[in-house]
């Protein structure tokens, strides 16, 4: 009986840790709602991606590509604009100049993607704040 309780405890601990990791992995995929607050989308996105060393290329009005070449990693992400929100979609993560142990560490890649998403969310939050302040002054 005691062994069964220990096995159940270990299972619960493992499953809760595993579920927490799954949620963290998908965090960068959550859409960021911006409503009518972004007046110049490319300028806002460009400012956000440059904060952490990313570059931005506009494909069309609803699609941008952010890329970074950092510590032997080459990461490309789509910024898709749909329904007054933006979401990140990983396109590729490679290590083109790697000379040994060339496996892509997805934890590192996801960390960069989460930082990119946070940067976008921060700038959108500033736009919302500035709009609220401007309305309260009038």
Q: Where are the domains of the chain?
A: 1-28, 31-137
Q: How confident is the model at residue 26 (pLDDT cuts 50, 70, 90)?
A: low
Q: Tell me how crowded residue 4 is: count the other CB atoms within 10 A of its CB.
A: 8
Asked if residue 132 has pLDDT above 50, the reply is: yes
Q: Which helix (H) or strand (E) holds 79?
A: strand 73-82
Average pLDDT score over the chain: 81
The pLDDT, as a whole number, for residue 4 is 43
The pLDDT, as a whole number, for residue 138 is 63
Phi and psi dihedrals of 39, rounded to 5?
Answer: -90, -40
Residues 77-105 have a mean pLDDT of 88
Q: How confident is the model at residue 19 (pLDDT cuts 50, 70, 90)?
A: very low
Stronger pLDDT, 2 or 35, i.e. the higher one? 35
**Ranges of H-type helices in 27-138:** 41-50, 106-137
Percent of the chain residues past pLDDT 70, beyond the cut: 80
Residues 92-96 have a mean pLDDT of 88
Stronger pLDDT, 36 or 55, i.e. the higher one? 55
Choose among 108, 111, 118, 102: nearest CA to 32: 118
Asked if residue 22 has pLDDT above 60, the reply is: no
The CATH number given to 31-137 is: 3.30.310
Asked if residue 57 has pLDDT above 90, the reply is: yes
Stronger pLDDT, 22 or 44, i.e. the higher one? 44
């Amino acid at each position: 009986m005691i062994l069964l309780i220990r096995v159940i405890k270990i299972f619960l601990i493992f499953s809760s840790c595993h579920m927490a990791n799954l949620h963290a992995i998908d965090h960068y995929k959550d859409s960021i709602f911006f409503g009518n607050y972004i007046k110049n989308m490319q300028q806002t996105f460009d400012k956000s991606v440059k904060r952490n060393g990313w570059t931005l290329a506009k494909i069309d009005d609803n699609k941008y590509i952010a890329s970074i070449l950092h510590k032997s990693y080459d990461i490309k992400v789509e910024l898709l604009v749909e329904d007054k929100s933006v979401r990140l979609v990983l396109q590729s993560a490679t290590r083109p100049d790697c000379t040994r142990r060339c496996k892509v560490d997805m934890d590192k890649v996801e960390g960069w993607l989460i930082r990119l998403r946070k940067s976008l969310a921060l700038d959108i939050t500033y736009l919302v704040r500035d709009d609220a302040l401007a309305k309260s002054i009038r």
